[in-house]
A and B are shown apart, each in its own frame.
Chain A
Amino acid sequence: MLLRGQRLEATKNISTPALWLLIPNAGHYKFIQISHCSKMTNSNMSQSDVQKSDAKKSDVTPSVAPKTKVIVDPERCVQRLILKLQDYWARQGCVILQPYDVEVGAGTFHPATTLRSLGPDTWRAAYVQPCRRPTDGRYGDNPNRLQHYYQFQVIMKPSPANSQELYLGSLDAIGIDSSKHDLRFVEDDWESPTLGAWGLGWEVWCDGMEVSQFTYFQQVGGIECNPVPLELTYGLERLFMYVQGVENVYDLDWDGVPAEEGGKTYGDVFHQNEVEFSTYNFEVASTDELFDHFKEAEAECARILKFGEANAEKNGKAKGNLLPLPAYDQCLKASHLFNLLDARGVISVTERQAYIGRVRDLAKACCEAWNKTQLEEV
């Protein structure tokens, strides 16, 4: 089960031009590689979670028309819940950041997590991150699936001794009472081939539903984490749907204000985005230009790193000369462009691995440069 991919229900259509590789496994066939499998932004794709391919209007779930706004409790509207999470983690010593301003597929890709996981310093941060997964678009027709959605991300380095208690405190803060609910830590290890990263941890279950990912990072960008950071990821839409008791993401009460007073639902805020971006991602995006942009971002990333390296060598100092942060922006851009190309279905099986490898090379190089600037401090 995947949280960060917001994969609650899937509308899958696999009779696409995708090439699948099957191997007989214990007499059955096991799907081992599919052209639209784990996307590179999808840092927390579990192994079992093979992605579907592009879905067109014809094969999505029957449209669930957004209902009239129901306000269960203004304290549990989307924006209040986000504020509560921010407030809670601020009290645990986290700096509250704002979303990163480059498109990412998961909160993990924010440099505040990826890069800051490396280096010897203490780092505690929490932020909401909008995430984009072009292939998950469903033209606003699926009650559980979005191409743009929110994650709430917490990163604490070194991982606190009471990590689990701190996390459970955050559920309490948003009204999930442990005396009424069944909260469980169920094994779920994390690996991101794109970031050269892995960690061990759990998916957290609340009454059988996965509400968060809880990971002790072990490696990022191929570099051993020391100290080890704790990463928490909450899929906000799903979590809030549970807290509000709604079945359709578009029914989520956004602001706690009645409709007649101008109050908004999630659908009021985002439905049009989903329709337009699904159309763009699947039908309009110009693949030639995207391929060009990908190459440009890749080249720019390499150029920035090279420039920094030359300066660092000349001045005998990494920090202030190496430029991992601007280079990493280019890596993120390349990653998102790849996802768009993937959504357009123009990347073949063999190319796919190669593209993922190219982004990984960029990510690793950025992480290495970042690490140099951090280690120099001590």
Chain B
Amino acid sequence: MSEFLLELHSEEIPARMQVKAAADLKKIVCDQLKSAGLAYVDARSFVTPRRLALVVDGLPEKQPDVSEEKKGPKVGAHEKALEGFMKANSLTSIDQAEVRNTPKGDFYFVVNEIKGRNTTEVLSEIVVETIKVFPWPKSMKWSKNSFRWVRPLHSILAVFKGETLKGSFDFGNQTLDFGNKTRGHRFLAPDWFEVKNLDDYLHKLRLAKVLVDENERRDLIETQAKALCTAEGLSLKDDQGLLNEVTGLVEWPVLLMGRIADRFMTVPHEVLSTSMKEHQKYFSVLDGDGKLANRFVFAANTEATDEGKTIIAGNERVLASRLSDAEFFWDQDKKDKLESRVEGLSSIVFQAKLGTLAEKISRVQDLAEALSEQVGCDAKQARRAAELAKADLSTGMVYEFPELQGIMGRYYALHDGEAPEVAEAIAEHYSPLGPSDACPSAPVSVAVALADKLDTLVGFFGIDELPTGSKDPFALRRAALSIIRLITENGLQINLRQQISEACIAYQKTGASAAKPLGQDPHMGAGITFFDSAFKDNVNGITDTLMSFIADRLKVALKDKGVRHDLITAVFALGDEDDLVRLLARVDALAGLLKTDDGANLLAAYRRAANIVRIEEKKDKTVFDATVDTVLLQQSEEQALHEALEGASQEATKALEREDFTGAMAALAGLRPPMDAFFDKVTVNDDDPALRKNRLCLLSRIGVILGQVADFSRIEG
């Protein structure tokens, strides 16, 4: 069992790149080992801010010998071909080649026995190649070199079976020999030391105040941070993203706790947390009630001689300076009522072609009001919440912390004495932001959230800014998914098509006024003329495109929940269903039907019928959609089927009117026995053309009647 250890020691690697770099290192080396025929037992990579390391265990001493067989020209082939073959295989005479009989005649063959090379040799090449091809997202040159690495690369430790690999890497101006040395923590143990193997490496680095395993560092940070909190009767606010980032900023984490000065505790706690996290990478701490405590925890990268007193004091100072900014914004922002900021939104461009935020707000107000009845909220509150929804964008606090938009609006609204429902809606109207984000359920919030997203989607679809491939710069897919979640999770019965055309009308209204403030700018002016007409002349086009976009998002969303996409397609194919809640009920009912034996057999029978009809229609170049002539129904089975069909149709229609989709399905499920009987006894393609035509029309009815609940031709499997 032979072990290979590699460490690339550089200046600080950005935290965000480290995890992928470790994975890349392992993959790149291991892929090369595999293609070199070097089997191994295990490979692990490690990463710290200053080093990227890999250990591969269980490598052989050398590559296996291989015999390589090459087929040459045919015996008696042209002189030139023979010469080429001899040259390529270093033969002095063609007699050195073997003649073998193949089905295509006699051919020359040569068998080369290739001796496996020593693993050390191959590894040296692999190290050089790995460094050369390494895919950093951003890389740089340094000094006089032409080579690029993420930051200057200072040493290459490459040890196989305890011995340093022979080799070096050429940076262009400077050559770095492979070695067996590394160094410890920048300040605590900067000296170089020799390393024999992984155990030695990990052990000595630990003594030199470096924890090379990022998982160990992460666990240590979390454990230490929690311990600090527990000691104070507090708890750590969970933040895995921050934890991962901090892990990439330290080699020797030492967790320390600082205090937030009491005067800042009156500032909204979201502000404190955000400032600490975004600017300083500090963890927030919670008290027994789950509220923000006046402490913060951070990871220093060193053991200070004064137990961290200076470091804590310094960090508290920096935080105080940060928070006095926040405190200042909080005090300043409260001086102006949120209401008074609405006017300022006319100087914020929503999208160059779609006018300003003030115009967006006026549209969203109309839409929210229109939705209030279906959502079940007070129309005035919906209007008010929509009016104030974006007003916090012009506050100093949101300018500094854009991620607090909405949340700050709630604080300022409550301060101004707005209704709690209105304040809540301001905070929640951006939600849900993703599949895992909570979906608002308070009616006013739902109305404003829906209106805002509908307006955005209609606007961007109106100016033809659709997402393409992986590009969705305006997060329109997310907006569509949010609409779906808002409607379905709250069980809202909303006619989307109608709402979309309402949104288009809203754009027609603001279109004219938009020309005024932005009119001086030729850029904007042109856009407004364009969108004005698009929202007037192309309402149906916009609605159709947007509906199918939403349908696609719904399919994706349901697929994630395990709902069959073909069932969604089958129900969507009905075309007229734009009530998402009803649509989902239909899909559910259809899925329920197909799970039963009757349902499965009904589907089989339907397909048989549809196939026959399709083939015969093609043959006759006609469509069998005439009304069934009962007089021509001669056999009892066809009469029975006809009756059953019409009966089921009526029953299904009634059930559908009651929106009882399960009932409708049950009615259709009853069609199975008469259909089976029909296929058993009746010959569709009767010699009498009139009978044949009538029977085909009867079969065609099956599709039509089933089509009341779903397009069965779209169902797969």
Q: Do A and B bind each other?
A: yes
Among A132-140, A182-190, A262-270, A368-376, the stretch that binds chain B is A182-190
Partner of A228, one of B11, B143, B280, B482: B143
- A-B pairs with lowest CB-CB distance, top 5: A207-B314, A187-B14, A185-B12, A182-B300, A208-B315
Q: Are A187 and B482 in contact (CB under 8 A)?
A: no
| Residues of chain A in range 203-249 having any CB-CB distance to chain B below 8 Å | 206-209, 216, 218, 225-228, 242, 247
User: A29-B393, A181-B304 are known contacts. Are A9 and B325 too (CB-CB below 8 A)?
Assistant: yes
In the complex, per-residue mask of B127-160: 1 if CB is within 8 Å of any chain A CB, else 0: 0000000000011111111000001101000000
Q: Are B302 and A182 in contact (CB under 8 A)?
A: yes
Known: A17-B347, A179-B187, A184-B249. 17 other contacts (CB 8 A): A9-B325, A19-B349, A20-B347, A20-B349, A23-B473, A27-B433, A178-B302, A180-B306, A180-B310, A181-B310, A207-B311, A207-B317, A208-B318, A226-B141, A227-B143, A228-B140, A350-B523
A56 CB to nearest chain B CB (Å): 13
Q: Does B301 contact A (CB under 8 A)?
A: yes
Residues in A whose Cβ lies below 8 Å from that of B139 = 200
* Closest Cβ neighbor of B476 among chain A residues: A24
Q: Are A13 and B396 in contact (CB under 8 A)?
A: yes
Among A155-163, A300-308, A314-322, the stretch that binds chain B is A155-163
Binding site for A on B (CB under 8 A): 11-12, 14-16, 49, 138-145, 151-152, 154, 187, 249, 279-280, 282, 298, 300-302, 304-306, 310-311, 313-315, 317-319, 321, 324-325, 328-329, 332, 341, 344, 347-352, 357, 390, 393-394, 396, 399-400, 402-403, 405, 430-431, 433-434, 456, 473-475, 478-479, 482, 521, 523
Q: Does A69 contact B (CB under 8 A)?
A: no
Q: Are A20 and B141 in contact (CB under 8 A)?
A: no
23 A-B pairs with C-beta separation under 8 A: A9-B328, A11-B328, A12-B399, A15-B341, A16-B347, A18-B347, A24-B474, A26-B433, A29-B405, A61-B328, A159-B142, A179-B304, A179-B305, A181-B310, A183-B187, A184-B301, A207-B311, A207-B314, A208-B298, A228-B142, A242-B314, A247-B321, A348-B521
B245 CB to nearest chain A CB (Å): 10
Q: Are B304 and A23 in contact (CB under 8 A)?
A: no
B325 CB to nearest chain A CB (Å): 5
Residues in B whose Cβ lies below 8 Å from that of A19 = 347-349
Q: Are A15 and B344 in contact (CB under 8 A)?
A: yes
Q: Does A21 contact B (CB under 8 A)?
A: yes
Q: Are B321 and A350 in contact (CB under 8 A)?
A: no
Q: Does A116 contact B (CB under 8 A)?
A: no
Interface size, A (range): 35 or more
A345 CB to nearest chain B CB (Å): 12
Q: Are B187 and A24 in contact (CB under 8 A)?
A: no
Q: Does A283 contact B (CB under 8 A)?
A: no
Q: Are B332 and A59 in contact (CB under 8 A)?
A: yes
Q: Are B400 and A10 in contact (CB under 8 A)?
A: yes
* Closest Cβ neighbor of A26 among chain B residues: B475
Partner of B140, one of A10, A26, A158, A199: A199
Residues in B whose Cβ lies below 8 Å from that of A31 = 399, 402
Q: Are A181 and B475 in contact (CB under 8 A)?
A: no
| Residues of chain A in range 311-346 having any CB-CB distance to chain B below 8 Å | none
* Closest Cβ neighbor of A162 among chain B residues: B154
Q: CA of A307 to CA of B249 in the docked complex: distance in angstroms?
A: 52
User: A158-B144, A208-B298 are known contacts. Are A28 and B349 too (CB-CB below 8 A)?
Assistant: no
| Residues of chain A in range 34-62 having any CB-CB distance to chain B below 8 Å | 50, 52, 59, 61
Q: Are A202 and B523 in contact (CB under 8 A)?
A: no
Q: Does A14 contact B (CB under 8 A)?
A: yes
Partner of A202, one of B12, B154, B332: B12
A15 CB to nearest chain B CB (Å): 5
Most buried by A among B142, B328, B357, B394: B142
